[in-house]
Structure 1
Amino acid sequence: MDMQTNARSNPPRLCFIGFGEAGQAFAGGLLEAGIAEISAFDIAPDPARVAGPAQKLGVRLAADLPSALSGADFVFCAVTAASSLDAARAASAHLAPGQIFVDVNSVSPGRKREAAAALGPGRRYVDLAIMAPVHPRRHETPCLVAGDDAAAFVEMFSPFGMALKQAGSEIGSATIIKMVRSVMVKGLEALSYECFMAARAAGVDAVILDSLKGSYPGLDWPKLVPYNVSRMLQHGTRRAAEMREVAATLRELGVDPAVTEGTVLQQERLGALGLPGDPNDGFTLLDLVADALAAQARAS
């Protein structure tokens, strides 16, 4: 019996530590793909944010971490960047021999190596980096994996539709690609916002748009700018945390993260506004942001 046939006839049992957007997207997709048993544990201050989706998907929501981990073959850790090391430390006391800890968190290579070390000697660890938004592809979103157990992970989950590529055997080899790439991806979001907020304030947005079309004809700026701003509004708080890890990565590489630190500020500023961020609003989305920032300034 080959690995693919065996995986589908005897699917692994999964646990998610952290059951937010990424955890829910991956769990939902994997259940539809043939995974039969998933548990989850989350310390969300609003239990309904987790309980509702878990019930809808058929995920067993555990009351505590040991209960969530019990019986799982693979433990996906998908918490906030700031909590990733604490989550690994908490799991280390309850992991059973043979359980594989899959670190999904958007943190620096150094932080991932710290998390792996926190699990203790002999523990199995996979560095996984999600390389695109988890919607709409969910578990089929392209991912990179690294570590000694990366090959086994790819063999196990590829039959269920996960789009996986090995980045190397060294922990951090996957996440460093994501971190360096984010300098451009999240930085371009912040630049789109900053450039066109200024252009709109100066009344030259149409001129700037035409100029950029000429310089970068491959980019659909009328769609790209509102989309980028909407991503900041919807996910800016989480993206700011990730970009702090990107800055840490650059420092580990000996690069001054001057622009990246500015990206942190802009992502955090827009994420804190609480606006829905519909890209279909087009460039009027910038007016909504300007109004919200002005109201915030008046209130302070």
Structure 2
Amino acid sequence: MQLGFIGFGEAAFELSIGLKQQGFGEIVAYDPMWNHPAYGSLVQERAEKAQVSLLKEPEAVLSRVNILIVAVPADKAYDVSHTLKPHLEESCIYVDVSASNPEVKRSIHDNLKGKGVTFVDAAMMGPLPVYKHKVPILASGDGTDAFIDLLSPYGMDISKVSDTPGDASAVKLIRSIYMKGIAALLVEMLEAANHFNVDELVISSLSETMNGKSFEETMNRLVTGTSIHAVRRAVELEGSIDMLESSSIDSTMSQAAKEKLQRLSKFNLKEKFQGKTPSHWSDVINALQH
């Protein structure tokens, strides 16, 4: 088994370091910045540290591997697949770990059809410097089973989502709505709490509310309750927004939340549910879609 990377940035570097520690054999890579006057030395230093053979042409990598991990920026992933396509060896497993959206992943898969290669949409679900090659990976596409069979023995944590390219990336990007959104919301909340010198009280109060139940139970309660109280909660947020703006604190997240609640109120869910809180979040989502 031969493994190669196209793009040798942080992802490829950390995966290589971990795999080498597990006794993996030869790894080769190509990065277009390998001889860049500013960044070339970093690429070369990483390759040396990870015991990876850095090659000067992508074709040289493709001719030697049966597993190809393409770790390039999301906006370059599709074009890179076009560039690599003529040089791909039959039976190669093409693994795209970019943060591209599901449509791009499906387009890459379609672009490679007819080359005798299989495709894996791989979504890395944790910090690589922490997990290295053991980072949890969700994978979808027709090459997923072989990808798991070949690299799981080296400690890689790969879970199959489906045989459909794009499904794994969909999970990651949808999860990011919450993870990135909640981080931005917390910054806005903490900025206000700090301004009014009530940091500990606010955090303590929220901890008491949030720590008592599991994430799923809390999510269910918040979504179902909001479905019938959207109007009132949007009005209540107005007070929070006024407070922030009067203190010259950015209210972007609160404004967005208010607008979302106002949009939700237009579905008249309180009337649809006859004023009773639905039992499950899926009841709310289904009502929004029908």
Give TM class, smaller chain. 0.5 to 0.7
What residue number does 1:133 align with? Answer: 127
Q: Deviations for 1:142-189, whole angstroms, at most 9, x for unmatched residues?
A: 111111121111111111111111111111121111111111122222
Counterpart contact for 1:13–1:35, Cα < 8 Å: no
CA 1:218 to 1:119, structure 2 compared with 1: closer, same or farther past 3 Å?
Answer: farther
* Local SS of the residue matching 2:161: strand
- For 1:20-59, list aligned pairs within 5 A: 20-44=9-33, 45=36, 46-59=39-52
The structure with the largest alpha-carbon Rg is 2
Residues 28/103 of structure 1: CA separation in 2 closer, same or farther (3 Å cut): same
Name the SS of the counterpart of 1:137 in structure 2.
helix
Pairing partner for 2:180 from 170, 175, 186: 186
- Residue 218 (structure 1) shift: 6.3
Q: Counterpart of 1:214?
A: 208
Counterpart in 2 of 1:99? 92
Determine the C-alpha separation between the residues in 2 that align with 1:204 and 1:218: 22
Counterparts of residues 231-246 of structure 1 (less than 5 Å)? none
The structural deviation recorded for 1:24 is 0.7
Q: CA shift at 1:139, angstroms?
A: 0.8
> What are structure 2's unaligned runs of at least 5 residues?
214-251, 257-290
Measured in 2, the distance between the counterparts of 1:54 and 1:178 equals: 28
Match of residue 141 from structure 2:
147
SS of the residue 2:120 aligns to: strand
Hey, what does 2:265 align to over in structure 1? Answer: none
Which structure has more relative contact order (CA 8 Å, sep 6+)? It is: 1
Q: How many residue pairs were aligned?
A: 211
* One-letter identity of the residue aligned with 2:174: V
Deviation sequence 1:226-272 (CA, Å, 0-9, x none): xxxxxxxxxxxxxxxxxxxxxxxxxxxxxxxx97xx8xxxxxxxxxx
- Measure, in 1, the Cα distance between the counterparts of 2:184 and 2:89: 43
Q: CA deviation at 1:203?
A: 2.9
Shift of 1:198: 2.8
One-letter code aligned to 1:123: V
Shift in Å, 1:23: 0.8
Find the counterpart in structure 2 of residue 282 from structure 1: none
1:199 aligns to what?
Answer: 193
Asked if structure 2 preserves the Cα contact closer than 8 Å seen for 1:13 and 1:38, the reply is yes
1:297 match = none
Query: 1:126: Cα distance to partner?
Result: 1.0
Matching of residue 85 in structure 1 with residue 88 in structure 2: no
Name the % identity.
33
Q: TM-score, normalised by structure 2?
A: 0.68
Query: In structure 2, how many angstroms separate the alpha carbons of the residues matched to 1:88 and 1:218?
Result: 48
Report SS of the residue matched to 2:129.
Answer: coil
Match of 1:115 among 108, 120, 126: 108
C-alpha distance 118-58 of structure 1, shift in aligned 2 (>3 A): same
Q: Which AA in structure 2 matches 1:210?
A: S
**2:80 & 2:186 partners in 1: Cα distance?**
34
**CA–CA distance in structure 1, aligned partners of residues 44 and 150 of structure 2:** 28
The one-letter amino acid of 1:49's match is L
Contact 2:30 2:54 in 1 (8 A): yes
Whole-angstrom CA distance in 2 between matches of 1:64 and 1:197: 49
- After TM superposition, the score normalised by the length of structure 1 is 0.66
